[in-house]
A = this chain, B = another copy of it.
Amino acid sequence: MAQAMNSEHRPNDKIDVLIIGAGPAGLMMANWMAHCGVNARIVDKRGTKVFNGQADGLQCRTLEILDSFGIAHRAWIEGNHMLEICLWNPDKDGLIRRSDRIPDTTPGISRFQQVVLHQGRIERFFLDSIASKSDIRVERGVMPTKLDLDESLAEDPDAYPITVTLRHLSEEEATPKQTATSANGSVISDGLFRSNLSPDDTEDLLRKSELNDKANSEETVKAKYVLGADGAHSWVRNQLGFKLEGDSTDYIWGVLDIIPITDFPDIRMRCAIHSASSGSVMVIPRENKLVRLYIQLTTVGAGNAGKFDRSKITPDLILRSAQKIMAPYKITYRYCDWWTAYQIGQRVGTQFSAKERIFLAGDAVHTHSPKAGQGMNVSMQDAYNLGWKVASVVRGISDRSILKTYQSERRRIAQDLIRFDHRFSRLFSGRPAKDVMDEEGISMTEFKEAFENGNLFASGIAVNYGSSTIVAKSGDSVEQGDGSDVATQNEAYKVTSKPSLASKVEIGKRMPSFKVLNQGDARPSHFQELLRSNGTWRVVIFPGDLTNSRQAERFTELGKALGAQNSFLRRFTPGDARHDSVIELLAVHAGHRQKFTIFDFPEAFRPFDDKDGWDYWKIFVDDNSYHEGHGHAYENYGIDPGEGCAIILRPDQYVSYVGSMDDYDAMDRFFSAFMIEQSGQKAGNVREPLFDVGVAPGDIQENVAVRVGSSTSLVAA
């Protein structure tokens, strides 16, 4: 089905999903559409992608998400890994000294740790991922000029209620000032080895030349859904009349991306340096020998209008500030890659969507200080939350009720982020207290604690979505979210989880990951590696120890229910789609791998396909591996091998439900609350007669086409 939708060649003016803005949030959305086979276009008014500067931290959760699309390893290989944070504070003589070291990523929270890499590379990985799965290409130099939503059609799933006028810009119009500086600077013209312009960006630059073909023309398109991922100055947000709420502070910071020449010993660590009275510096070591310095500019005040005077700020002024703060250590540079200055502010959007038809994500709905490394991460995670929901509705799998959870879940995160950033910025920009009596100063103990707690928050792992149609947990969905009502409307479908059956799995959080072995080939995988982002829900059965006859019996009965013609696995899966394209069934048992083969499991867990035979990639075991140790998944998930459990996971890896391993009815109710019954379900696969009756070997393959053959001998003549 995915393939079919992509290749249908609809008229160009009808689009299921139109994405405005090709930064990290827009590209994440486009990537979801590509991986789910949804018809989409993505436009950006800029002529090329970003080559220098810009956000650069990739938190653990972001890496987990990138990995679910198969691209995290590229960031992991290219990025700089930050392991330790060093806190430098004034000693009693007012000289800065290293006072503490804390791990940059809290050990154990994820299989990834934070890395730092230029935003342009992340965008490249997305572009490659999108191209590998679809015909979607970023259309650059294309700017929306008119946006209209016919609200009367908002709830009609077949309608295209949004009308957008797109203007194709000339190359000159499509080149923002910053990129122009970059293009005229050293990066492109003298080909320095450390250029951020990688060979795989060549195609991107060539495409610029196509801009002028359509220059100054306009087109009008109809869309089912629109995402405004067009940044802090969001045109889409302005069209909708939505506001950002919050305010700015007086703190002004400069940013230098340099190759430092310094005797400061921790320059390749992430550092928070508080000087006695000259302000603070944050050190972020980067790839290609670069270091980013966030430098407080205490000599530049905000003007009358609460805005600082940009013209006064130069790289030299920023460097001098750093030198003062870091004295007696010396620092200078011969190579500067990028620089900027900003005033700290925290704002969050009042609404994240108009009628769940036009959505906003990323900087368009939240702005804050860059120092916690959250901007790009939260933006991508907004779109990661939204993408599968929109795809699922467009594909006719889910009803529109799930779309409300986007604002409930993500606006709440933005509010939390703004609160976190407000406190963190104040602690970072304040003057250190001289002693306990200095009430106006910042306690360095409080700062350290905030940093440690902040690290877990900033990792993205702590995100905990509230109760809703798609998160079956106790509590008030209004309180747990941003105030929107996202509870299941039909009482008959309400489902109650039994969290104690997996005591270390938190409903609403992303599924933790431990190593398990494939039953069929003994290969260890992190459990999360099995949860690829392809729009599929997962029902994961932990049947426990199958040598326990009660568990074996429960499992067999469950297998029958799941394998039945009218099971929810079949009812919600379109007739022409693969058996696991809507809901994938996985099992992780607690026995010894070598005592079982896949043929000891109900066929629902190893579905038969007439071309591919049985499926060997659905059954796993919590056992020791040859080379990568024992994942102890049952213990780490808090699951009793004598009892087992069932866990439902959303397509974005968040935990929806924990219940009894054989409570088929509860699972059926859960999906029935928002999934759409499909007509024309296919009959179960017909198994090879070979395996049902006693056909002699050799009776079958006579009808088999040999696709490619040769009979070259490997022996030398």
Q: Is A260 in contact with chain B by the CB < 8 A criterion?
A: yes
Q: Which one of A12-20, A88-96, A312-320 is at the interface? A: A312-320
Asked if A612 contacts B259 (CB within 8 A), the reply is yes
Using a CB-CB cutoff of 8 Å, which residues 358-376 of chain A contact chain B?
363, 367, 370
A330 lies within 8 A of B691 (CB): yes
| CB-contact partner of A107 in B334, B627, B695, under 8 A | B627
The distance in angstroms between the C-alpha atoms of A186 and B611, with both chains bound, is: 15
Taking a contact as CB atoms closer than 8 A, the residue among B521, B598, B716 that contacts A345 in the complex is: B716
Chain B residue contacts of A132, Cβ below 8 A: 199
Contacts of A705 in B (CB 8 A): 186, 336
Asked if A178 is at the interface of the complex by the 8 Å CB criterion, the answer is yes
Distance between Cα atoms of A185 and B186 in the complex (Å): 50
Whether a CB of chain B sits under 8 angstroms from the CB of A594 is yes
With A80-B521, A181-B710 known, 14 other A-B pairs at CB within 8 A are: A81-B521, A83-B522, A104-B626, A131-B199, A186-B708, A187-B708, A261-B613, A269-B521, A315-B709, A319-B698, A320-B697, A336-B708, A337-B707, A345-B716
How far does the Cβ of A243 sit from chain B's closest Cβ, in whole Å? 11
Instruction: For chain A, residues 310 to 363, give those with C-beta under 8 angstroms from any C-beta of chain B.
Output: 310, 313, 315-316, 319-320, 323-324, 327, 330-345, 347, 363
Asked whether A710 lies within 8 Å of B336 as measured between CB atoms, the reply is: no
Contact of A716 among B347, B599, B691 (CB under 8 A): B347
Kindly identify, within residues 194 to 245 of chain A, every residue whose CB is under 8 Å from any CB belonging to chain B: 199, 232-233, 244
Q: Are A716's CB and B327's CB within 8 A?
A: no
* Given contact pairs A715-B342, A716-B347, A697 touches B232 in the complex (Cβ within 8 A): no
Indicate how many identical chains form the complex: 2
How far in angstroms is the closest Cβ of chain B from A715? Answer: 5
Q: A381 in the interface, Cβ–Cβ < 8 Å?
A: no
User: Does A268 reach chain B (CB closer than 8 Å)?
Assistant: yes
Q: B-facing mask of A501-535, CB < 8 A → 1, else 0?
A: 00000000000000000101111100000000000
Closest to A255 in B: B714
Residue A158 lies at the interface, judged by CB distance under 8 Å to chain B? no
Cβ of A492 within 8 Å of any chain B Cβ, yes or no, is no
> In the complex, are the beta carbons of A338 and B107 less than 8 A apart?
no
A73 is an interface residue with CB less than 8 A from chain B: yes
User: Quick check: is A101 within 8 A (CB to CB) of the other chain?
Assistant: yes
A712 within 8 A of partner (CB): yes
Q: Across the interface, do B330 and A690 meet the contact criterion of CB distance under 8 Å?
A: yes
- Is A483 located at the chain interface by the 8 A CB criterion? no
Residue A77 lies at the interface, judged by CB distance under 8 Å to chain B: yes
A105 at the interface (CB under 8 A from B): yes
Please give the distance in Å from A214's CB to the nearest CB on chain B.
26
Q: For the complex, is A704 an interface residue (Cβ under 8 Å from B)?
A: yes
Inter-chain contact B713/A265, CB cutoff 8 Å: no
A187, A521, A717 — which one has the most chain B CB atoms within 10 A of its CB? A521
Where the two chains meet, the residues of A that have a C-beta atom closer than 8 Å to any C-beta of B are 52-53, 70, 73, 77, 80-84, 101, 103-105, 107, 113, 131-132, 177-178, 181-182, 185-187, 192, 199, 232-233, 244, 248, 259-263, 265-269, 285, 289, 310, 313, 315-316, 319-320, 323-324, 327, 330-345, 347, 363, 367, 370, 518, 520-524, 594, 597-599, 610-613, 616, 625-627, 688, 690-691, 695, 697-698, 700-702, 704-717
Q: Measured between alpha carbons, how far is A40 from B140 in the docked complex, in Å?
A: 39
Determine the residue in chain B with the shortest Cβ distance to A82: B521
The 3 A-B pairs at the shortest CB distance, nearest first, are namely A323-B697, A265-B597, A261-B613
| Chain B residues whose CB sits within 8 angstroms of the CB of A315 once the complex forms | 706, 709
Select which of B105, B260, B518 is within 8 A of A613 by beta carbon.
B260
Q: Is the CB–CB distance between A335 and B707 below 8 Å?
A: yes
Residues of chain B lying within 8 A (CB to CB) of residue A105: 626-627
Within the complex, the shortest CB–CB distance from A465 to chain B, in Å, comes to 26
User: Residue on B with the closest CB to A262?
Assistant: B613
User: Given A316-B702, A330-B697, A710-B178, are A716 and B336 neighbors across the interface (CB < 8 Å)?
Assistant: no
Bound together, the chains give a CA A539 to CA B561 distance in angstroms of 65
Assess the B101–A289 pair: CB atoms within 8 A.
no
Q: Which residue of B lies closest to A188 (CB)?
A: B708
Contact A708 B73 (CB under 8 A): no
Given contacts A707-B337, A708-B52, A711-B340, contact A716 B522 (CB under 8 A): no
A316 in contact with B627 (CB, 8 Å): no
